[in-house]
Every structure is written in C-alpha cells, then in structure tokens.
Homo-oligomer: A and B are copies of this chain.
C-alpha cells in the first residue's frame, strides 16, 4: 500500500481512529492499556539498513520508494486516552494524524500493541471486582501466548488491580511486586512432604507459602501447622498455604479449621488452579475462607474472549471525512472526541462521542488529549502506579450494572448532533 501511495504521489494527511467495534459478550466496559508501547514504537520507528536491503532483495520495490522508506520517521500527531481509562464500544482509544503513508504503515503495530494490554486489563479487572478486596496474584506466564505476552499480561493485570505477579522479569522490568509459591514438583522431589515444607521455610522464612495438595490436602494442612509453629519459634510467620485442586470451597473450610485449631489462625489460604472471575465470585459469595487467589491462564489469555474487535480506521484524509460502508462495518467519520459526564455522586453518567473540534460541554471531561506532535512526545508517560490508580478510580466511577460479570448493563454513549450531521453529509457524498 505504501509503495502504491508513494508511486501515486498521494501525500495527503490522514486521520485514523483506533476503537473497538463491539464489546465481547461478557464485558460491560474495557480498560485501555498499551499506550506507552505505541508511543515508544512511533518515536523509534525507522527502517534499518539491513531491513531495507532485504526489502530490496524481494525485487518488488523500486529504489525511489526504498529511499523514501530509509528516511521515513513518524512525523504525525497522536491524541489518546491515558492508560487505565474505562472505554466503551465505538470510542477511540487513540487517533493518529499523519501523512497517509506513515499513518497507514503503523496500523498493525498500533493495533497489536494496544490489543493485548487492553484485552488482559479488561479481563483481569473482572477478577479484581469479584474478589472484593482479596489480593490476586498473576500466575499465567507459562501459558500466555509467548514471552512478550507474558510480560504484557503481568503489567496489564497489575494495572487492573492485581497485587503481584509470579513473572520475575516483570518484577525486574516493571517493578511489579513478586509472589509465588512452590510447585507440586518441588514437593514431590522430597521423600517426605514435611521435609519439603521445612526446606522451603528455611530458605524463605518470611515469604513461605506452602502448597498443601500434592498428596492429601487436609494432611498437608496439618504439616503446615507444624511448620507454622516451627517458624513462629524462630520469630517468623508462615505466609500462607495454597490449595491448587479439588473442591476449593469445601477444602478451604476444612483447611481453615485445621489451621485455626492448630494456632495458625493468622495464616491465610491461597487458592489457584485454572480459576477465572466466575470462580472467584462463586467462592467469595459462598463465604469460603480464602485470603487470596492465584489466577493465570484464563486471565492471561482472556479465555472467554481471546480477542477484541479492535480496528484502526481511516476517518479523514486530505480534509475529507471518510465513511466505510462495508456490511456490518460502518463507522463514524472524522477525528473524534469522547466527552464523559460525571454525576454529583462521582459516577459516570454518560459519554458523548463527538467531533474532535466540538467544544467540551459544561460538566464533562474530555478523554483524548494530545500525547505526540510532529513525532515528538508531549508528555512524560505516567508511572505504572499512576496508571493503576487511574484504573481504580475509573472502575469506581462505573455504576454497578456496568461492572457486572454477566449480563452487564449498557453504558450510554450518545452520538453528538454535529457528528451525526457529518456522518449524514459524508453518506450523501458517497
């Protein structure tokens, strides 16, 4: 496409809008994430000599075009919602305005870099809501879709309100608090479960979470009581026990009794094992005595909805509003703004999807702001703590029906009269 545009000397300025056409069935809202990576990508975008040589070797591109690519930098502007913003169908998460070739060339990267973080943050926040304050640990690296996905999932889950990750590199790179426990293989490697527990407690006296279901969960709990007493005698506290299989409601109650009777009433129970937000909600509402949850595969892969209908659409080129008419894929023309109205109770009342050049209505906040101009970053990206805090505030702003795990209500997103008029004008012009 770039080669054809270059050859046709099509150097108009274009605006592309990144948005989700429809929310997945079980989502009342999404949490935007991934912007930091997009901005870094755009800032650093260039073709390497090696890449250009390889493109030349394909024999498909002439040297004028390859020279153009050699000098290509992203020189455009980006308006975006901050990471951690609650976002709904049809609302742009970001808009890129740049010379057509630049704006078009970055499509795949922009979608890819926003898609997974937004997908996982939007999935993970559901477990945070279900857990009603109980801490969650992200355990999913082993079955995330590759290593890059594992890093992004740890970051996205933390933004969404998880307390920690078992991904050590995410601790190093992003500063996310680390947690983890032993595996069944660790316990099995010792001849005796108690011996395995004691060895772990010796190595980690202040962060010892014992996995007690390798053989018999209740018997494991009795051994944990013993280790808790031994740790206490040395001035430490057993950090927890973990159950990774079986009927977690029943077992957590049985284990709680063993711990309480054995003087380990302050030792929390952690559960894990292929759980998702519905399991968390079920266990919490049953009153199971569970202190924390470890969640992995189903969060990192967003198992019930492993992709978002996230698209990057041309909405204006050379000053002309662009309308796509393909069946089922019509989208709103032109650069846009999202204006959010906040009620007196601090709750979000409704959003207006408007043209970008409309004034912000009184009582509304506007959600996209310029973050890059002439290819230069306009701001210092918020810290991960700031993003996480924004996400928590945004979720707190949603009415209860929007936050429901199933059968969520539809948050009202109104289309502004100006935008409707422009859409009609563009359709008439087709």
Contact = CB atoms under 8 A, between A and B. Distances in A.
Contacts of A143: 111-112, 115, 307-308, 310
Interface residues of A, number: 83
Contacts of A430: 215
Contacts of A244: 326
B313 A146 contact: no
A119 B5 CA distance: 38
Given A142-B115, A184-B326, A314 B246 contact: no
A12 interface: yes
A152 interface: yes
A324 B213 CA distance: 10
A100 interface: yes
A55 to B, nearest CB: 8
A396 interface: no
Contact of A322 (B148, B188, B308): B188
Residue among A54, A100, A188, A324 with max Cβ neighbours from chain B (10 Å): A188
B145 A189 contact: no
Nearest to A115: B143
Contacts of A111: 142-143
A181 to B, nearest CB: 9
Interface string A147-160: 11110100000000
A8 interface: yes
Interface string A400-430: 0000000000000000000000000000001
A303 B314 contact: no
A302 B313 contact: no
A204 interface: yes
A182 interface: yes
A202 interface: yes
A183 B329 CA distance: 13
A94 to B, nearest CB: 15
B142 A108 contact: yes
A229 interface: no
Interface string A360-392: 000000000000000000000000000000000
A325 interface: yes
Nearest to A201: B4
Contacts of A5: 186, 189, 199
Nearest to A51: B172
Given A188-B317, A247-B327, A301-B307, 20 more contacts: A1-B183, A1-B186, A4-B186, A7-B202, A8-B203, A112-B144, A115-B143, A145-B145, A147-B148, A149-B149, A184-B314, A184-B324, A184-B329, A185-B313, A188-B322, A188-B324, A214-B325, A215-B325, A301-B301, A303-B306
26 contacts: A1-B200, A4-B200, A6-B203, A8-B195, A10-B189, A10-B190, A60-B207, A104-B185, A104-B189, A107-B183, A111-B143, A112-B143, A115-B143, A119-B145, A146-B148, A147-B148, A184-B313, A184-B329, A188-B317, A188-B322, A213-B327, A245-B326, A246-B328, A297-B307, A303-B306, A303-B307
Which 9 residue pairs are nearest across A and B when measured between Cβ atoms? Answer: A145-B145, A148-B148, A185-B314, A146-B148, A306-B306, A4-B203, A8-B199, A246-B327, A145-B149
